[in-house]
């Protein structure tokens, strides 16, 4: 139970959670109202698809019309009890999509994708030639595994190579290849500082391989798992990373593409501590021409118009990040709202070290989500005017945010992104164009077209370049060997 006057400051016992037998709870510290869920990991604790190296609710009043619109039911009242919620496997295989992860196709894909294919081993070689494709894996998931390779003749030119799963018995060869080529052509068309660059589509021994930029510093899950970003001193890092994710998603939406699986594991850190979004296995082209069509010429964002193609009802993504309208599965939905919701949940992970609810669904054992809906309902009850907007002094007061999210401007941005009503939720363009978000110090420009001018964040005086500032950040923990010489040849970890 959470009351408006409750003190939610964590105590020592809140930081002693251990991994459950299922292997899905966070090892890192979680504060008192963090759910015991964690981002998607496999049974061995490895990151899935990781490239590179996370009011008074005892009253059971009948649900209001606002709650019913969000999927509530008029069930008999019952009491909620605070208890440990056992974690569950968060990864949800999508019911539909155009990527290789999907069970079925959600759109009509072209019969002939314009995609060039190369033989993998004629261009690239495994770093460990003795073990070959069974050598060093950067990550492994339900639909693919990722291996480190180098371009032949250039051992220092490294790439992450994603080997797709084999065709399932339920799909034809033609349907399977369409999914592979669709995912590749979407990823290949994207060119933005916060998107992983896709290089080539290759085959090897009958298996499809997706060659990508190698991000050497791992993913955001690792930083969350270590509890590094929760420190108050790391607020500039959290804000910079949040802004980079929002910029990447905004680029996708401007070009008619929805990611649909924004989460910690799909945000990689490249050399230089820059964030990049990866894994377009469940992405949708919701507007314009599919980049794989010959008429698109391999470009995203062609023939854009005002027609938005909705996604068919069905689960997609990872449960803690899934928006409430997707979980309901009762109507087609705009995939852009799912990306906005997922980006806000990612920032919650960065801030709290865990999500603060298990599932964005009313009365399913997630009291913090119930409270969010209640506070939005109360706020709308005070505003009879059409399309009310939150202001600096007038916004839903949500206890977890009020106590633990600073500055207040960030609370308001997250609340706009977490409006349970998708029709009233902020767009990602609203987020990146928010005056406060624009002023967040960021170590990355929003386009490759910007000049490469770097400003040291430790200096007060920073010049502007084309109206933007760029700062020098290092989001990774300092790796210290003390007085040791470090790992020597022949030692584990060298």
Backbone dihedral angles phi then psi of residue 379, each to the nearest 5 degrees: -65, -45
Question: How many of the other CB atoms lie within 10 Å of CB of 290?
Answer: 24
Instruction: Pick out the residues of the known binding site for ATP.
Output: 162
Instruction: Pick out the residues of the known binding site.
Output: 162
Kindly state the tokens that stand for 336. 């852009």
- Annotated catalytic residue 261: yes
Which residue in the list 261, 279, 334, 370 is annotated as catalytic? 261
Q: How far apart are CA 220 and CA 350, in angstroms?
A: 8
CB under 8 Å to 491, separation ≥6 — which residues?
Answer: none
Which residues are part of the catalytic machinery?
261
């Amino acid at each position: 139970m959470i009351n408006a006057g409750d003190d939610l400051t964590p105590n020592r016992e809140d930081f002693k959670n251990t991994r459950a037998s299922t292997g899905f709870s966070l090892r890192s510290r979680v504060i008192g109202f963090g759910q015991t869920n964690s981002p998607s990991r496999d049974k061995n604790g490895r990151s899935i698809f990781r490239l590179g190296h996370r009011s008074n609710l005892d009253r059971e009043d009948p649900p209001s019309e606002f709650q019913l619109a969000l999927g509530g039911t008029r069930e008999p009242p019952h009491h909620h009890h605070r208890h440990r919620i056992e974690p569950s496997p968060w990864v949800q295989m999508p019911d539909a999509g155009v990527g290789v992860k999907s069970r079925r196709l959600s759109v009509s894909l072209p019969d002939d994708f314009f995609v060039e294919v190369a033989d993998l081993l004629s261009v690239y070689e495994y770093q460990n030639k003795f073990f070959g494709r069974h050598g060093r894996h950067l990550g492994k998931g339900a639909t693919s595994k990722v291996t480190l390779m180098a371009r032949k003749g250039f051992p220092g030119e490294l790439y992450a190579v994603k080997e797709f799963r084999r065709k399932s018995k339920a799909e034809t060869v033609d349907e399977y290849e369409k999914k592979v080529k669709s995912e590749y052509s979407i990823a290949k068309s994207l060119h933005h500082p916060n998107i992983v660059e896709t290089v080539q589509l290759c085959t090897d021994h009958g298996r499809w391989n997706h060659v990508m930029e190698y991000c050497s510093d791992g993913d955001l899950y690792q930083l969350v798992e270590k509890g590094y970003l929760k420190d108050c001193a790391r607020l500039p890092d959290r804000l910079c990373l949040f802004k980079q994710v929002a910029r990447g998603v905004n680029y996708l939406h401007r070009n008619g593409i929805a990611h649909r699986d924004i989460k910690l594991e799909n945000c990689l850190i490249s050399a230089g501590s820059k964030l990049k979004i990866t894994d377009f296995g469940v992405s949708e082209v919701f507007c314009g021409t599919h980049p794989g069509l010959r008429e698109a010429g391999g470009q995203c964002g062609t023939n854009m118009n005002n027609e938005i193609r909705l996604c068919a009802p069905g689960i997609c993504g990872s449960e803690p990040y899934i928006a409430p309208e997707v979980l309901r599965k009762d109507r087609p939905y705009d995939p852009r709202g799912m990306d906005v919701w997922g980006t806000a949940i990612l920032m919650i992970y960065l801030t709290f070290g865990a999500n603060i609810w298990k599932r964005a669904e009313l009365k399913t054992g997630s009291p913090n989500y119930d409270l969010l809906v209640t506070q939005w309902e109360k706020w709308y009850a005070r505003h009879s005017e059409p399309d009310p907007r939150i202001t600096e002094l007038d916004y839903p007061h949500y206890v977890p945010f009020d106590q633990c999210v600073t500055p207040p401007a960030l609370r308001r941005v997250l609340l706009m992104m977490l409006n349970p009503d998708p029709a009233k939720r902020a767009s990602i363009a609203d987020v990146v164009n928010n005056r406060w978000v624009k002023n967040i110090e960021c170590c990355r420009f929003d386009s490759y077209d910007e000049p490469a001018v770097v400003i040291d964040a430790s200096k007060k005086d920073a010049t502007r370049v084309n109206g933007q500032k760029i700062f020098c950040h290092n989001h990774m923990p300092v790796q210290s060997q003390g007085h040791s010489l470090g790992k020597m040849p022949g030692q584990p970890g060298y």
